[in-house]
Homo-oligomer: A and B are copies of this chain.
Amino acid sequence: MTVENQRPIILTGDRPTGQLHLGHFVGSLRSRVGLQDSHHQHILLADAQALTDNADNFEKVRRNIIEVATDYLAVGIDPSKTTICVQSHLPALNELTMLYLNFVTVARLERNPTIKSEIQMRGFERDIPAGFLCYPVAQAADITAFKATVVPVGEDQIPMIEQTNEIIRRVNRQIGNDILPECKTLLSNVGRLPGFDGKAKMSKSLGNTIVLNATDKDIKKAVNSMYTDPNHLRIEDPGQVEGNVVFTYLDAFDTNKEELKELKAHYRRGGLGDGTVKKRLEGILKELIEPIRERRNELSKDPDYIMDVLQEGTRKCQIVTQNTLDEIKSGLGMFRF
């Protein structure tokens, strides 16, 4: 118990808006499987946060909670080591968010670079849902409710963590006691995986993702359609590795770094055909996905088990988050019966 509590607490999660894909695998899932042995890891299925830009599609968010949970278990997230929970079933998070909203100005939220760029990306402009503007505060509630000290994020999310730490300092200062620990980002050491069409953004709607239960046929099709070096017309021509989607994927998934290095050198000096490189990638992806797909198919046959895992994880997290909320409310001097 003591040892368990001394492990750093990680909070991570996903907006359940679609099945997870290889981009998630590289960006987060793979490392979560590793981290669950050394950390006290909580994974939040952030359905409430997903609604901040999906208010017209509750059905999509609801449905994908089970899909994403199945993805977690399929890649090897172990519910005996990691608690997986459903955000909308942790009422303490709402109460904490509402409390924190009093500690943050509107101007500060509007200055948040992540929010700024996401507003642009989603084309919200003046029609920003208030929930969307406030979601960095909701995220601060998530992180602090778990007293997480380690938050795995992409570089674009760093301002969210800064916002969280500002709130933490404000709360601690007002209470006069460091109830909440500050949190640190755990930056991924791999870059964002592009879509297999080479577009920076991977999304289901663009049809450029490889999902975690992709069939061999899906994988073959995706790899074959990948852009390589447009100037590498004949096998004997020197080819470019940078910006070549096949090599970007090999960088992410090929575990034999020595062979990959030689392959790149060969491609650069000429004499290595795209077909050969694609074949290698196809083999690697098939090998990676096959066991995940099989576990996923098995898990899909037992929806009750998925629900049990979610219910049990959520129950545990309700206790943790409610305890933090009580501690903060009492520290701030709120009314108690």
18 further A-B contacts with Cβ under 8 Å, apart from A51-B99, A106-B130, are A55-B103, A56-B174, A58-B333, A61-B335, A88-B335, A91-B92, A94-B98, A97-B98, A98-B138, A101-B131, A101-B134, A102-B131, A104-B129, A107-B126, A107-B127, A107-B128, A108-B130, A311-B337
17 contacts between A and B (CB under 8 A): A52-B101, A52-B102, A56-B174, A58-B174, A61-B334, A88-B334, A88-B335, A91-B92, A91-B94, A94-B94, A94-B95, A98-B98, A102-B130, A104-B129, A106-B126, A106-B129, A107-B126
Contact indicator per residue, chain A 101-137, by CB within 8 Å of chain B (1) or not (0): 1111111110000000000000000111111111001
Q: A332 at interface (Cβ–Cβ under 8 A)? A: yes
- Of all chain B residues, the one with the shortest Cβ separation from A126 is B107
Q: A310 at interface (Cβ–Cβ under 8 A)? A: yes
- Of all chain B residues, the one with the shortest Cβ separation from A138 is B98
Contacts of A61 in B (CB 8 A): 334-335
Cβ–Cβ contact A104 & B91, under 8 A:
no
Contacts of A334 in B (CB 8 A): 47, 58, 61-62, 88
* Given A58-B334, A334-B58, A337-B310, A127:B105 Cβ within 8 A: yes
Contacts of A51 in B (CB 8 A): 99, 102
- Of all chain B residues, the one with the shortest Cβ separation from A137 is B130
Contacts of A95 in B (CB 8 A): 91, 94
A316: min CB distance to chain B, Å: 14
Q: A65 at interface (Cβ–Cβ under 8 A)? A: yes
Contacts of A314 in B (CB 8 A): 337
How many A residues touch the partner, as a band? 35 or more
Contacts of A62 in B (CB 8 A): 333-335
Contact indicator per residue, chain A 20-39, by CB within 8 Å of chain B (1) or not (0): 00000000000000000000
Cβ–Cβ contact B105 & A126, under 8 A:
yes
Q: Chain A interface mostly helix, strand, loop or mixed?
A: helix
This chain's copy number in the assembly: 2
Cβ–Cβ contact A105 & B88, under 8 A:
no
Contacts of A337 in B (CB 8 A): 89, 307, 310-311, 314
Contact indicator per residue, chain A 57-87, by CB within 8 Å of chain B (1) or not (0): 0110110010000000000000000000010
> In the complex, A130→B332 CA distance in Å?
19
By CB atoms of chain B within 10 A, which of A102, A105, A307 has the most?
A: A102
Contacts of A335 in B (CB 8 A): 47, 61-62, 65, 86, 88-89
> In the complex, A332→B104 CA distance in Å?
30
> In the complex, A125→B191 CA distance in Å?
41
> In the complex, A47→B334 CA distance in Å?
9
> In the complex, A132→B134 CA distance in Å?
12
Contacts of A311 in B (CB 8 A): 337
Q: A48 at interface (Cβ–Cβ under 8 A)? A: yes
- Of all chain B residues, the one with the shortest Cβ separation from A307 is B337
